[in-house]
Amino acid sequence: MPYLLQDSKPRPPPLPREARATHSSGKAYEELKQECLRRGSLFEDPDFPASDASLFFSEKPPVPFLWKRPGDIVKDPKFILGGATRTDICQGDLGDCWLLAAIASLTLNEKTLARVVPLDQNFGPDYAGIFHFQFWQHNEWLDVVIDDRLPTFKGRLVFLHSAEHNEFWSALLEKAYAKLNGSYEALKGGSTIEAMEDFTGGVGEMYEVKTAPDNFYEILEKALKRCSMVGCSIDTSSAAESEAKTPFGLIKGHAYSVTGIDEVSYRGQKVRLIRIRNPWGQVEWNGPWSDNSLEWRLVSPSEQKRLSQTALDDGEFWMKFEDFKVHFDKVEICNLTPDALEDSTTHKWEVTIHEGSWVRGSTAGGCRNFLDTFWTNPQIKMHLTETDDGQDDCTFIAALMQKDRRKLRKFGAEMLSIGYSIYESPGGDGHLNKDFFRYHASKARSKTYINLREVSNRFKLPPGDYILVPTTFEPHQEADFCLRIFSEKKAITEDLDENVAIDLPEPPNPNPSPQATEETEEEKQFRALFEKISGEDMEVSAEELEYVLNAVLKNKKDIKFKKLSLISCRNIISLMDTSGNGTLEFSEFKVFWEKLKKWINIFLLFDSDKSGSMSSYELRSALKAAGYQLNNYLLQLIVLRYSDEQFQIEFDDFLNCLIRLENASRVFQALSVKNKEFINLNIGE
């Protein structure tokens, strides 16, 4: 009877809740602050000390920096002065403009800003040198506590600072984000969407406007209804073009925000419009449908009022959607999760989150170019059951994120090239094997494998069951990942991992009936060798068994291996010694020999090049052939124990693995009651 181990299920999306405290003391911000106030001392963070280690991991500071608190830099420091705005964000001597652009977008959304930057902080009477900020990381909100010591040179902040010399919220936010990622240097280079996701918990989409799908207008319309953050920009062909102004009043290489999309009645026809905001103000679009263009004179006052045309912010303007597609090149959408939205928002995404790992030797199979290992990657099953409103298909976004790579930079880690493929499910459960992927093409896939933190794409597929395979481009690359499925209607997802099942025959009786005692020629040869080694008692020790087995196996030409080890022979006796005397009787040896022949044949089946070893990626199939269906977690443990540095498993290791598995399963059989999935053990057992 197989034994089943309950699979772990994907975790539901997070509900609105308090962010988790991350300080090494286990204490939350308020508790740490009150301790400082009681002691009359300013907070010093041991987790992110005021030292070079918090600045850089691959170099020393170009000049000696001094860590100073805001009160040591100016006489009257303020946390926020006159509201948090884009003018509070000025880049310093760190290549993190991607982060600054995201912070600028953050200031446009008061609710999101208030979550990331708790506004009840100040340099007033309860000042204790401690501040905190909240970021989303891999399915949860984290509360990051810092002290307010900042790196300076000649009395000025070295990194991010405000245009107001006595305002410090943006510099402290940058420090908290640096702590989250391990150092200031870890913030060098990145994409704006990465930080936007960490500020919102949302999922990013990037579109090239010129090649956007036909329903791009509808995509933007739905995104804005869901309160998504939408940005757009114009490409530059050289550094000299950055911030260059076009004849139509647009700025190249500049981050704009999309704030609205609508249709207007114009000369008896519907015209699609899009509203753009330049956070820097002043410079605006001067083409058709700009603020004072002739087109608005032919639009009724009620329509103008509905579109708030007469009350646009400075730097905000409408333009025709077709003109937008001509003049802009890129659009970034950060779709917000339900917990980041107002309760009144009706157009919410349904979100499912999976967390997993690519582990060398077992689940790090690489992309479809590497068929022999591709099938070993994690597999996630999606049930798309409900079509979009008024549509025949199901819309979803699949976002694959590699975890903590920025934090691991100091250990030499870089962003891996990642992506995924989506296949129509053949039905049934269990991990799909190599032959399935050999003979079936994918129904959809990520546009490219790229070394960004997250790869996300939008898809429309008919209702049905699908298998998503997340991978690195190259095999044998290790990383943890988080896969998020955003769907318009509820999509059911599950890890397509094996249930643990063990299907072994009942152990044969080592003392058969007299009618079954007729010996084969092979058994007669074994008996003669056994008598020669063991003597009259017909029992062998581990050392003697080692001699017997190696003497027999060296004559088998179909299997190539060095020899069975003494440890293997001790394990064999442990498995087969029913009398408990530490030796192996001839009757017990005969039973084991039948097992060994079966295990040799299985090994030869997967030792495709007859080298005497097999790939650890074939272990799942080899163990299944021997009667052991194991999940990814158990396979990873076995590969770690029995494979070498080249992810090869020799026969001696394969034999030891099978012996250990059979021993464990026999113990479970003996102790289980009515084939239940769990057993109780006392200390002796």
Residues taking part in catalysis? 97, 254, 278
Closest C-alpha to 144, from 108, 122, 115 = 115
Question: What gap in Å lies between CA 164 and CA 330, rounded to an integer?
Answer: 32
Q: State the DSSP string of 268-287.
A: TEEEEEEEEE-TT-S----S
User: What's the full length of the chain, in residues?
Assistant: 685
Amino acid at 388: D
Helices vs strands, H then E, count in the chain = 19, 27
Helix 566-576, helix 586-606: angle, nearest 10: 120
Give the CA angle between residues 461, 465, 466 to the nearest 5°: 70
Residue 396 in tokens: 């979803």
The alpha carbon of 491 is separated from its chain's Cα centroid by a whole number of angstroms, namely 19
Closest C-alpha to 278, from 315, 232, 251 = 315
Amino acid at 607: D
Other Cβ atoms closer than 10 A to 223: 21
Question: What gap in Å lies between CA 599 and CA 575, rounded to an integer?
Answer: 15
Residue 170 in tokens: 């943006």
Question: What gap in Å lies between CA 231 and CA 206, rounded to an integer?
Answer: 10
Q: State the DSSP string of 171-218.
A: HHHHHHHHHHHTSSGGGSS--HHHHHHHHH--EEEEEEGGG--TTHHH
Residue 503 in tokens: 């299907």
82-88, long-range: CB within 8 Å, 24+ apart, which pairs?
Answer: 82/164, 84/113, 84/117, 84/169, 84/170, 86/279, 86/280, 87/162, 87/163, 87/164, 88/162, 88/163, 88/164, 88/167, 88/169, 88/170
Amino acid at 479: A
Question: What gap in Å lies between CA 447 and CA 206, rounded to an integer?
Answer: 11
DSSP letter, residue 298: G
What phi and psi, each to the nearest 5 degrees, are found at residue 107?
Answer: -70, -15
Other Cβ atoms closer than 10 A to 664: 12
